[in-house]
């Protein structure tokens, strides 16, 4: 069964929340369109066209540009590209005129885009679907082009011209920035089923395309009003098909977590599920989700069901797939079938799933870097949850950091950490960490293996969080794929808050048995808790033998903040309170020495 992870912290200084989408800056604009796939024109044929408009007559549309004037602000209708980003506008089926949304040129005149605006493009007259021979079983179809930055692109309808209902948007499109993403296909055909929004004998409707910022809470920030542009053409109202099953969501994984690399000792059952929506007119019978692993080496199907028109049904396999323990690649194909022939098979197609059984690498990311995670000038930690199904010894955490102009900065000091989850409170509990590493150029665009000190015996039935982090600016972590909410996490060291992120950072567990045991030293398992702290902190460490110990704490300038000598401490666990409640906010270094051996740790004072 899919696991939903909801953490409620018992510690007042720690919170869990959703990481809000990050506002893109001018520096992250892509100055020219990235090459996009040319979509075949009218590749999705619904039914009978009841109404259409290709902007030949601009008077068929009403434009409200929020009081702005000039061709560079708001909507315009003509056959010329007036925006700063695209070269030729939309390559639509009809050609000729099209509608275009712009809001200044942030590259030529940064900060001059209009703020506090909502630009709308609305049909001048209502569309009487019933008089045209239709019912509520219709869809809105149009062609579009553009790219998403900080904007909100919505499609709305109204039955009175005053009250508007949002029926679709482009928030499913990735943000295009210097870190990754892509423009829309040119053109991109978008279809929105209106049947669930209309009555059986629908009143006439107006159709509206609305643009504004996706960050209204930051409306005074010019960055949130930047747009690449939005192009619309060939708008249609069409009857729904007779038979049309679509997959609205799909899921696969073990206890809620999909793994793209699975060490043989962590193999367990893999579940598959999908939600199927019947957007056609006819009831669909004998509907099943079908799974095929490695060309028939294993197959499975959900129990057959019937789905009435406009209903959604969850399809789940009752027999799970357990891969062989032999290392190698596994390819999964998925489809949804029914007794009838689907009129639009493209919208129930699901991408293949490719993962691997490995000797010792455990990975949540899909292995294809796409963009990265950073935190501006603040330190942070980011990583993924991993469920453990068999006891094992975790030796290291592997990470990938991007290079290049938008990559991690050479000279940044980084670390990896492992947390377990308190089953009662949901708090992340520190388990182990690596020695710090100062990034060199050869550490970027490659997989770094960072050994834990000490190695940790992880326990079956326990969930762990593996992260990479830095106390300072300069860290960027490669992303590869998407995560379900509350399965990948981000610790913002500026506010000491854990957020969840829906990007999957390239942070992996490494159980490689040949990684050597760390050289035995006099001092082991040193850690500063809590970290960050707003008050006093506690240094914890272990001594292998009875010895004298010296602890020196310095700030970033090298000034000594605390110098404590502890004489003849016994072997075993030790603690020392650091008087950090008296110090200014910043990063501090703790150096513990004994009998010529030394360990260095850092912590943040808030």
DSSP SS3 for 517: coil
Comparing 138-152, 195-209, 507-521, which segment has the lowest mean pLDDT?
Answer: 507-521
pLDDT at 65 over 70: yes
Domains of the chain: 26-239 (2.60.120.260), 245-358 (2.60.40.10), 365-510 (2.60.120), 523-605 (2.60.40.3080)
Cβ-based neighbours of 284, under 8 Å, separated by 6 or more:
243, 245, 278, 306, 307, 338, 339, 340
Q: Answer for the pair 21, 181: CB distance below 8 angstroms, yes or no.
A: no
Going by C-alpha positions, the residue among 58, 59, 48, 61 that lies closest to residue 80 is 58
Question: CA dist 235 to 52, 136, 247, 563, Å?
Answer: 6, 18, 24, 73
Going by C-alpha positions, the residue among 159, 87, 169 that lies closest to residue 126 is 159
pLDDT top residue among 408 and 556: 408
Instruction: Give the pLDDT score at 271.
Output: 96
CA distance 235 to 232: 8
pLDDT top residue among 377 and 14: 377
Please work out, in degrees rounded to the nearest 5, the angle formed at the alpha carbon of residue 398 by the alpha carbons of 395 and 403: 155
Q: Which residues of 250-261 are buried (b: 16+ CB within 10 A; e: fewer)?
A: bebbbebbbbbb
Q: Is the pTM of this model over 0.85?
A: no
Count Cβ atoms within 10 A of the Cβ of residue 394 and give its class: 0-12 exposed, 13-18 middle, 19 or more buried: buried
DSSP 149-191: SSEEEEEEEESSSSS-EEEEESTTSPB-BTTB--PPPSSEEEE
pLDDT digits (tens, 9 = 90+) for 324-345: 999 999 999 999 999 999 998 9
Q: What is the dihedral of CA 9, 15, 16, 22, to 10 degrees?
A: 180
pLDDT at 489 over 60: yes
Tell me the mean pLDDT in the region 555-564: 89
Neighbours of 565 (CB within 10 A): 10
Instruction: Give the pLDDT score at 19.
Output: 46
CA distance 114 to 133: 42
CA distance 419 to 431: 5
pLDDT top residue among 53 and 595: 53
């Amino acid at each position: 069964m899919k696991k939903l992870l909801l953490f409620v912290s018992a510690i007042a200084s720690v919170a869990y929340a959703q990481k809000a989408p990050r506002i893109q800056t001018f520096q992250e604009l892509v100055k020219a369109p990235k090459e996009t796939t040319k979509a075949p024109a009218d590749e999705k044929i619904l039914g009978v066209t009841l109404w259409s408009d290709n902007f030949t007559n601009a008077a068929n549309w009403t434009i409200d540009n929020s009081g702005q004037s000039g061709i560079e602000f708001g909507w315009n209708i003509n056959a010329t590209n007036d925006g700063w980003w695209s070269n030729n506008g939309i390559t639509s089926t009809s050609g000729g005129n099209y509608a275009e949304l712009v809001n200044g040129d942030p590259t030529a005149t940064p900060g001059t885009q209009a703020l506090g605006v909502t630009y709308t493009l609305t049909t001048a007259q209502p569309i009487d679907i019933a008089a045209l021979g239709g019912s509520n079983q219709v869809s809105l179809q149009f062609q579009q082009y553009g790219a998403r930055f900080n904007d909100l692109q919505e499609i709305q309808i109204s039955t009175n011209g005053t009250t508007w209902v949002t029926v679709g948007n482009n928030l499913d499109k990735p943000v295009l920035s210097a870190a990754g993403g892509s423009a829309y296909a040119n053109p991109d055909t978008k279809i929105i089923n209106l049947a669930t929004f209309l009555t059986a004998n629908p009143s006439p409707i107006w159709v509206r395309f609305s643009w504004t910022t996706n960050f209204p809470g930051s409306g005074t920030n010019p960055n949130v009003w930047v747009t690449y542009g939005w192009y619309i053409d060939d708008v249609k109202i069409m009857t729904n098909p007779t038979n049309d099953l679509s997959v609205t969501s799909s899921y696969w994984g073990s206890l809620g977590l999909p793994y793209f690399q699975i060490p043989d000792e962590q193999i367990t059952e893999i579940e598959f599920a999908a939600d199927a929506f019947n957007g056609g007119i006819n009831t669909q019978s004998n509907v099943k989700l079908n799974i095929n692993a490695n060309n028939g080496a294993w197959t499975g199907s959900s129990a057959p069901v019937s789905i009435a028109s406009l209903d959604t049904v969850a399809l789940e396999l009752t027999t799970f797939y357990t891969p062989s323990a032999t290392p190698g690649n596994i390819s999964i194909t998925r489809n949804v079938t029914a007794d009838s022939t689907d009129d639009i098979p493209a919208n129930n197609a699901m991408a293949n799933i490719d993962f691997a059984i490995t000797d010792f690498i455990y990975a949540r990311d899909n292995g294809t870097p796409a963009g990265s995670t950073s935190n501006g000038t603040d330190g942070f930690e980011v990583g993924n949850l991993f469920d453990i199904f068999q006891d094992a010894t975790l030796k290291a955490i592997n990470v990938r950091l991007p290079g290049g102009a938008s990559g991690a900065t050479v000279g940044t000091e980084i670390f990896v950490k492992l947390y377990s989850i308190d089953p009662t409170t949901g708090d992340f509990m520190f388990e182990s960490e690596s020695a710090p590493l100062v990034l060199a150029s050869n550490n970027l665009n490659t997989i770094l293996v960072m050994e834990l000190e000490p190695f940790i015996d992880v326990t079956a039935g326990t969930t762990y969080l593996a992260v990479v982090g830095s106390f300072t600016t300069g860290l960027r972590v490669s992303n590869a794929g998407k995560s379900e909410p509350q399965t990948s996490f981000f610790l913002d060291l500026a506010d000491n808050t854990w957020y969840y992120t829906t990007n999957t950072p390239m942070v992996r567990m490494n159980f490689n048995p040949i990684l050597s045991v760390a050289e035995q030293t006099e001092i082991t398992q040193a850690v500063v808790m809590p970290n960050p702290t707003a008050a006093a902190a506690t240094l914890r460490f272990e001594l292998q033998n009875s010895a004298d110990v010296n602890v020196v704490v310095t700030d970033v300038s090298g000034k000594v903040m605390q110098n404590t000598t502890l004489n003849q401490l016994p072997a075993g666990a030790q603690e020392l309170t650091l008087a950090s409640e008296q110090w200014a906010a910043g990063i501090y270094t703790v150096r513990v020495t004994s009998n010529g051996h030394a360990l260095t740790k850092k912590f943040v004072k808030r």
